[in-house]
Structure 1
Amino acid sequence: MPLTKAQYEEIARVVAQVPPTRQSLKTLKGRFPSQSQSTLLSIFSQEYQKVIKKTHAKHHTPEATEAYYQRYLTGVTTNAASPVLLELANEVGFAPSLVARIVLERFLQEGGGPVPSKTLINSMLRDPSQIPDGVLANQVYQCIVNDCCYGPLVDCIKHAIGHEHEVLLQEILLEKNVSFLAEDQLRAKGYDKTPDFILEVPIAVEGHIIHWIESKASFGDECSHKAYLHDQFWSYWNSRHYTLCGP
């Protein structure tokens, strides 16, 4: 169902008052039963990411890094099976996957080792079995699967949803006999930045002439719209445009 700006702002206010956990999503669904789970998750994720960006620096100071690492060591020494890193992340209000990354980086530097590359860290986060310590691997895994806003699992889900929306949109265009060039065709022609589809013959939608379509499988708030305009849309603006946001 359509979401008004007032409704969005009310949801955003509630999101700001709840902890960044999966349990909070149940709270949101109970508070706003008329909104779909996917819509609430998108808003929850976007608002949470704004908080993370504001507080990111304080969690990456040398003091914070060492405190989190020592907390991890103490916790797993007491009970290696308990979700030490996940509980730490919830306590300090930081994304579980990002807390796991901080502790993993510190672990790999134990004994004066070199700073691990981002490629290595990302590979271990995608596949914790690569971590050369079984206890830490399990702790990192718990953080990854319980993080609803960050981490490789979330990135994989977002990519899959984005691809699904593009496929559905292409099917609709074919069904409506709308002639278009898809993104891969445009890249083959040498375009560096492209929308998902450029219409070879523009169409009219609600009084607007549409030349191209960009599908975004996420909730489009004002902040994200401004970012998309600056980073992407203005580069191939040629008249009216039409952007599909979801859910």
Structure 2
Amino acid sequence: MDSNLYRYFYESLNSHDDVQKLSEKYNVCCGTLSSILNQKVVEDVKKSHYRFKRKEDKIVNEWRSGNSFLMLSQKYHYPATLISTLILENLGHSKKEIRLFYKNPKSIENNRIQNELLESLNADYFFSPRAHQLQEEKGKIGENIISFWLKKKSCDFTCEDEMRAEGCTGKTPDFLLRKSIKISGREVCWIESKALFGELKEHRNYEKKQFNEYADCFGEGLVIYWFGFETDILKEKSEGYQIADFEFFKKDVPEHVNKFLNYVIYW
């Protein structure tokens, strides 16, 4: 995706309603737009964290005055789960207690907190335990498609979990091929699956912390950004790996890929 178009989508996406509208208008799959929206929300939270923390006492006092977790989330444009966590910590609950509350909100004796927490968790598609679970499921779907494709090609490989079980303690790619395969005229020894949109800034972090190390340890590799990537990445990426997206697998396993492209973290 051209970087200018990516920036347009990034600025235009503010809610899941925008995902559907832009998907229909520009014929871009919902999964790609949902991924961009999720990355935007996470980045906004990182940028605003310290400003938000300065308002902590004010927010807690507003909650004591009757404003719900969700009302405060909407007022301060901050994820409902994180608002809930801040207030619960100020009420004296430990991180362990709060994790238990999130796992089973109905165990909370205080009816107000129980009702407000249930409301918040149901409204937060980015930071709630359910959202994190679905993100993990999305990652597994991408890996399962690659595994299916490799088996279809009769490739012998080891996945990351198996490498860990065998005692590997260093950084490992999602798939290590026991025998390299040729892709675009180059021998590929490993594959890394990223169930997200490849944004340039985040790609640089992955390259530094993962891709370059994989290339040094295992040789040439292939990085899959399932929901597309900024084309500017191709202008500055290092040697040692290729980059592809869903199109690479679509001709071989179209039914799996098409379903994945419309995967949206929403319930």
Look up the equivalent residue of 1:96 and give its one-letter code.
A
CA-based RMSD: 2.0
Superposition TM-score, scaled by structure 2 size: 0.77
Q: Which has the higher contact order (CA 8 A, sep 6+)?
A: 2
Moved runs in structure 1, 4+ residues, more than 6 A?
A: none
Bigger Cα displacement from structure 2, 236-245 vs 45-54? 236-245
Matching residue within 139, 150, 173 for 2:116 = 139
| 1:1-28 deviation digits (Å, cap 9, x = unpaired) | xx3333212211223xx4xx44444454
Q: Secondary structure at the match of 2:127?
A: coil
Distance 1:91 1:23, change over 3 A: farther
| 1:200-247 deviation digits (Å, cap 9, x = unpaired) | 111121233211001111111112212222333333323322111223
Q: Secondary structure at the match of 1:38?
A: helix
Q: Secondary structure at the match of 1:237?
A: helix
Q: Secondary structure at the match of 1:10?
A: helix
> Equivalent residue for 2:75?
91
Distance 1:121 1:105, change over 3 A: same
> Equivalent residue for 1:72?
63
Q: Secondary structure at the match of 1:177?
A: coil
Asked whether the equivalents of residues 22 and 146 of structure 1 are also in contact (C-alpha less than 8 Å), the reply is: no
Structure 2 spans left out of the alignment, 5+ residues:
228-267
Alignment partner of 1:119 is 2:99: no
1: CA distance, partners of 2:185 / 2:2: 21
Q: How does 1:89-238 map to 2 (within 5 A)?
A: 89-107=73-91, 109=92, 116-192=93-169, 193-238=171-216
Look up the equivalent residue of 1:174 and give its one-letter code.
K
Look up the equivalent residue of 1:210 and give its one-letter code.
V
> Equivalent residue for 2:260?
none
Look up the equivalent residue of 1:165 and give its one-letter code.
G
Q: Secondary structure at the match of 2:115?
A: helix
Structure 1 spans left out of the alignment, 5+ residues:
77-83, 110-115
Q: Secondary structure at the match of 2:181?
A: strand
The count of corresponding residues between Structure 1 and Structure 2 is: 224
Distance 1:154 1:246, change over 3 A: same
Matching residue within 10, 13, 23 for 1:12 = 10
Asked whether the equivalents of residues 180 and 200 of structure 1 are also in contact (C-alpha less than 8 Å), the reply is: yes
